[in-house]
Amino acid sequence: MTATKFHSFSELVQDRTESEPTVQLPEAPPVAPKLETQNLSFYYGTNQVLYDVSMKIAPKSVTALIGPSGCGKSTFLRTLNRMNDLIEGTHHTGTVLLENIDLNAPEIDVVALRKRIGMVFQKSTPFPKSIFDNVAFGPKISGLRNKKILAEIVEYSLKQSALWDEVKDRLNDSALALSGGQQQRLCVARTLATQPDVVLMDEPASALDPASTSRIEDLIFELKKDYTIVIVTHNMQQAARISDQTAFFYEGHLIEMGPTQELFTKPREKQTENYITGRFG
């Protein structure tokens, strides 16, 4: 009887590689980014506030932008749907791409662009109109007049923004009678009514009480099934709770970006670590 020869694990691996050619599994195809910035710099007059920011944002994900006050998070967010165009004396260098299309190319229709990349602001700003008319506003100014379709869009958008059950019996009441948290969800509905693929949110919960904040966070989590979401937040716990990836900005530079859990537990850069451990900011 021949004695069995025991191998160490590394020998076994070696034996195997020597005797059989290894089969390379094909790599999973990379997901094309929904949005991408390449070497994006931004200036208010001569004041440069973003420096060579290159970022890729995956579709149907939540990306949180964090960093101390004044580091350029909101400015960066606004470059993603050209909201900065509305501020006089600004300019940028570098490129912003939506599905590989240059957003700043001369042929881009900015109004159409802002429908595809909608925005929700820090303070909810419903119009002094009915709940229905607030949500129907975008489709109406796009020329939609069919009442049945408008009603469907309003219902769909209010359902997606988790407000429908609370308002379905009073769609003709003034939007200004809603609570702060409801008004913010109404503003989300108003944005969704224009059927965007991307929703940008600039501190959407900062003016809300904890219960309303939690509803907005749940809503963001639900919305990422259908939309790509980029959110500016001062609240690191919020970023950790709701985002798939987090980007840390400091003094206009993108210091680090990665999967949220990794960035919060194993930051690669010292500045990120100092910020998330509360040493500054």
Give the residues lining the site for ligand ATP (CB under 6 A): 44, 49, 67, 69-75, 87, 234
What span, in angstroms and rounded, lies between the C-alpha atoms of 120 and 84?
Answer: 15
Q: Which residue, 47 or 265, is less far from ligand ATP as judged by CB?
A: 47
Residues 6+ apart with CB under 8 A from 83: 114, 119
- Can you read off the two tokens belonging to residue 18? 């020597």
Structure tokens at 246: 């987090």
How far apart CA 43 and CA 51 sit, in angstroms, is 9
Q: What angle do CA 266, 66, 109 make, to 5 degrees?
A: 130
Cα 149 from Cα 136, distance rounded (Å)? 10
Picking from 89, 60, 63, 88, the residue whose alpha carbon sits closest to that of residue 76 is: 63
Nearer Cβ to ligand ATP, position 65 or 192? 65
Q: Taking the complex as a whole, how short is the minimal distance between the CB of residue 263 and ligand ATP, in angstroms?
A: 17
Query: Which of 30, 89 has the CB closer to ligand ATP?
Result: 89
**Residue 189: how many other CB atoms lie within 10 Å:** 26
CB of 67 to ligand ATP, least distance (A): 6
CB of 71 to ligand ATP, least distance (A): 4
Q: In angstroms, give the least distance from the CB of 139 to ligand ATP.
A: 30
Tokens of 276: 């998330």
Task: Classify each residue of 215-247 as buried b or exposed e, where b means 16 or more C-beta atoms within 10 Å of its C-beta.
Answer: bbbebbeebbeebbbbbbbebbebbbbbbbbbb
Interatomic CA distance for residues 170 and 100, integer angstroms: 43
Q: Which is nearer to ligand ATP, 59 or 281 (CB)?
A: 281
Which C-beta is closer to ligand ATP: that of 90 or that of 195?
Answer: 90
Residue 252 beta carbon to ligand ATP: minimum distance, rounded to whole angstroms:
7
Among 48, 90, 92, residue whose Cα is nearest residue 72: 48
Closest CB 152 distance from ligand ATP, rounded Å: 36
**Helices (runs of H) and strands (runs of E) counted in the chain:** 11, 10
- The nearer residue to ligand ATP, 82 or 234, going by C-beta atoms, is 234
At closest approach, how far in Å is the CB of 45 from ligand ATP?
7
Nearer to ligand ATP, 44 or 164 (CB): 44
Say which DSSP state 203 is in.
S
Judged by CB, which is closer to ligand ATP: 73, or 185? 73
Smallest distance from ligand ATP to CB 209, Å: 21
